[in-house]
């Protein structure tokens, strides 16, 4: 595998969103839940040939990079990590829209081998909107430590798409993934994703909407079923995104809307209302994920996750969750504030000594006072003060915060705070951002 950097092209799908497209080769999207090693795989494949930026009009960052394999150039797009693409949070919206409307030649869904059932939720959702899916079962070394065995061949048969096992930190283990991407993009392997079978009544209504959509719109065949689901779910933000990106008008189509209202009434009569339709869909997906995991996963120690579950019960409990969070964050902030004083004072003393030597040297060479004041008392002193004040707390806080992330505690903080933040129409994940904001305030 050779790593090179080649030109990047952009394809404008609508007036608001610009998607990356490789005009000289293939485009591959990397999707997955947070903390499954997706970015590690991306970094290993692209090396230093990366570009990081924001989606136009968005604050969520993305990264793109190139790599060459055999005779082809691949543009890899690391889309934001998300647990689902059924809702309309910013990460889910960007991931969904790029996979569906950005038309990547292949979509690699990275999953955590130690919690395959939870990760398959996203796999099934993505397979609803694109056929060119590759499942990358990562962290096999962690699964081995927990005595979990996964039959990758059987998993591939059950999903209908290529499945590759990897250990992201070992670059050599990614060769098989690259080869599979190459074959899928070149049509040597043609995935045939198995679709989720929902309740018979829902499947029947999906078919009715499919037929009606085909009467009015010429769309990629894989999208009819997904759009029908979104219409039944009545997710207006997703429907608007579909209309904008595919340049169609569903909302004003009287025939489709009449059929949709008729179907909604029939479903409501049997207890499937707008308020619980998404729950019904999610339940079917999770049931399928559970059945597949029971077939492909072997646990030598069936109680391997008992310790983690006991810890979760404490860290996310209503009684102890918030006090423990306050304690952890308080300790981190205390270490950051108090601990930063000592290295800050050392840096002040060190830079003060250097400043005296520079002034002595300036006097020795008869440097004009205005010049020495500007360069030494102005530029040098200001720069060293900023370094002395800001560097120590940053060097202490961010490694500690990274340590909490590696331990898996940050998602638990987000979980604990989600209920409070939802009252002001926010997400618990914003608690993490606020903690970083508090640190910046402390520094200044």
Residue pLDDT, tens place only, 186-198:
999 999 999 888 9
Mean pLDDT of 282-302: 88
In a domain, 293, yes or no: no
What does residue 110 show for φ and ψ, rounded to 5 degrees? -90, 130
Model pLDDT for residues 314-352, shown as the tens digit of each residue: 888 888 888 998 898 888 888 888 888 889 999 999 999
**Do residues 238 and 179 share a domain?**
no
pLDDT tens for 416-438 read 887 788 777 777 777 777 777 66
Q: Is 342 a member of any domain?
A: yes
Q: Distance between CA 375 and CA 393 in Å, rounded?
A: 27
> Measured between alpha carbons, how far is 262 from 346 in angstroms, rounded to an integer?
74
Using the 8-state DSSP alphabet, how is residue 2 labeled? B
In a domain, 259, yes or no: yes
Residues 235 and 263 reside in one and the same domain: yes
One domain for residues 319 and 438: yes
Q: Which residue has the tokens 């604990």?
A: 416
Higher pLDDT, 415 or 11: 415
pLDDT confidence of residue 288: 93
Looking at per-residue confidence, does 20 or 369 come out higher? 369
Tell me how far apart the alpha carbons of residues 414 and 430 are, in angstroms, rounded to a whole number.
Answer: 7
Confidence of residue 16 (pLDDT cuts 50, 70, 90): very low
Q: 89 and 37 share a domain?
A: yes
Tell whether 229 and 323 lie within a shared domain.
no
The answer as to whether 290 is a domain residue is no
Residue ending a domain, choose from 141, 159, 185: 185
Kindly state whether residues 252 and 320 are assigned to the same domain: no
Residue 444 confidence (pLDDT): 53
Q: Is the pLDDT of residue 53 over 90?
A: no
Please check whether residues 223 and 356 belong to one and the same domain.
no
DSSP string, 312-380: HHHHT-TTTHHHHHHHHHHHHHHHHHHHHHHHHHHHHHHHHHHHHHHHHHHHHTT--HHHHIIIIIIII
Task: Give the chain's domain count.
Answer: 3
Average per-residue pLDDT in the chain? 83
Give Cα 411 distance to the centre of its chain: 13
Whether residue 219 sits in one domain with residue 164: no
Instruction: Give the structural domain span for 426.
Output: 315-443
DSSP 74: E
Same domain, 15 and 131: yes
Looking at the domain assignment, is residue 390 inside a domain? yes
Q: Does residue 74 lie in a domain region? A: yes
What's the pLDDT tens digit per position in 218-271? 888 888 998 998 899 887 878 888 888 888 889 888 999 899 999 989 998 888
- Domain CATH code at residue 129: 3.40.50.300
Q: Is residue 3 domain-resident?
A: no
Banded model confidence at residue 185, pLDDT cuts 50, 70, 90: very high
CB distance 93 to 55 below 8 Å: no
Residue 134: inside a domain: yes
pLDDT the model gives residue 7: 30
pLDDT digits (tens, 9 = 90+) for 108-138: 999 999 889 989 999 999 999 899 999 999 9
Domain boundary among 185, 213, 239: 185
What's the number of CA atoms in the CB half-sphere (13 Å) around residue 144? 7
| Domain endpoint, select from 162, 185, 208 | 185
Residues 422, 373: one domain? yes
Same domain, 253 and 340: no
Around Cβ 441, how many Cβ atoms within 10 Å?
8
Same domain as 244, residue 161: no
**Per-residue pLDDT at 382 exceeds 50:** yes
pLDDT at 439: 57
Residues 9-15, mean pLDDT to the nearest whole number: 34
């Amino acid at each position: 595998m050779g790593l090179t950097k080649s030109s990047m092209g952009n394809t404008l799908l609508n007036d608001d969103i610009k998607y990356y497209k490789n005009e000289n080769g293939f485009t591959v999207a990397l999707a997955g839940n947070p903390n499954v090693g997706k970015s590690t795989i991306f970094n290993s494949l692209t090396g230093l040939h990366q570009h990081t930026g924001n989606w136009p009009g968005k604050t969520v960052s993305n990264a793109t990079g190139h790599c060459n394999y055999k005779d082809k150039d691949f543009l890899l797009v690391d889309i934001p990590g998300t647990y689902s693409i059924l809702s309309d949070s910013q990460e889910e919206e960007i991931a969904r829209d790029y996979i569906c409307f950005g038309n990547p030649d292949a979509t690699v869904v990275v999953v955590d081998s130690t919690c395959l059932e939870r990760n398959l939720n996203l796999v099934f959702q993505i397979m609803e909107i694109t056929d060119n899916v590759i499942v990358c079962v990562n962290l096999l070394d962690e699964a081995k430590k927990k005595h979990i065995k996964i039959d990758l061949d059987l998993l591939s048969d059950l999903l209908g798409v290529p499945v590759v096992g990897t250990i992201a930190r070992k670059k050599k283990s990614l060769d098989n993934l690259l080869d599979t991407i190459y074959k899928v993009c070149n049509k040597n392997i043609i995935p045939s994703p198995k679709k989720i079978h929902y309740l018979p009544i829902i499947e029947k209504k999906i078919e009715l909407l499919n037929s009606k959509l085909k009467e009015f719109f010429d769309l990629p065949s894989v999208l009819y079923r997904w759009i029908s689901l979104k219409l039944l779910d009545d997710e207006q933000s997703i429907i608007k995104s579909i209309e904008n990106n595919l340049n169609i008008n569903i909302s004003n189509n009287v025939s489709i809307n009449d059929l949709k209202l008729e179907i909604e009434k029939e479903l409501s009569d049997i207890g499937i209302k707008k308020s619980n339709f998404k729950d019904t869909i999610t339940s079917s997906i999770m049931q399928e994920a559970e059945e597949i995991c029971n077939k492909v996963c072997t646990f030598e120690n069936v109680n391997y996750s008992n310790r983690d579950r006991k810890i979760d019960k404490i860290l996310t409990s209503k009684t102890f969750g918030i006090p423990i969070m306050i304690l952890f964050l308080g300790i981190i902030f205390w270490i950051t504030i108090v601990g930063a004083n000592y290295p800050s004072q050392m840096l002040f003393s060190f830079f003060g000594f250097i400043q005296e030597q520079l002034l002595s040297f300036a006097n020795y060479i008869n440097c004009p006072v205005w010049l020495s004041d500007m360069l030494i008392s102005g530029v040098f002193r200001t720069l060293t003060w900023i370094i002395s004040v800001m560097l120590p707390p940053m060097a202490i806080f961010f490694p500690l915060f990274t340590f909490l992330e590696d331990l898996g505690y940050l998602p638990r903080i987000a979980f604990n705070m989600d209920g409070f933040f939802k009252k002001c129409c926010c997400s618990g994940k914003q608690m993490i951002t606020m903690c970083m904001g508090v640190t910046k305030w402390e520094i200044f």
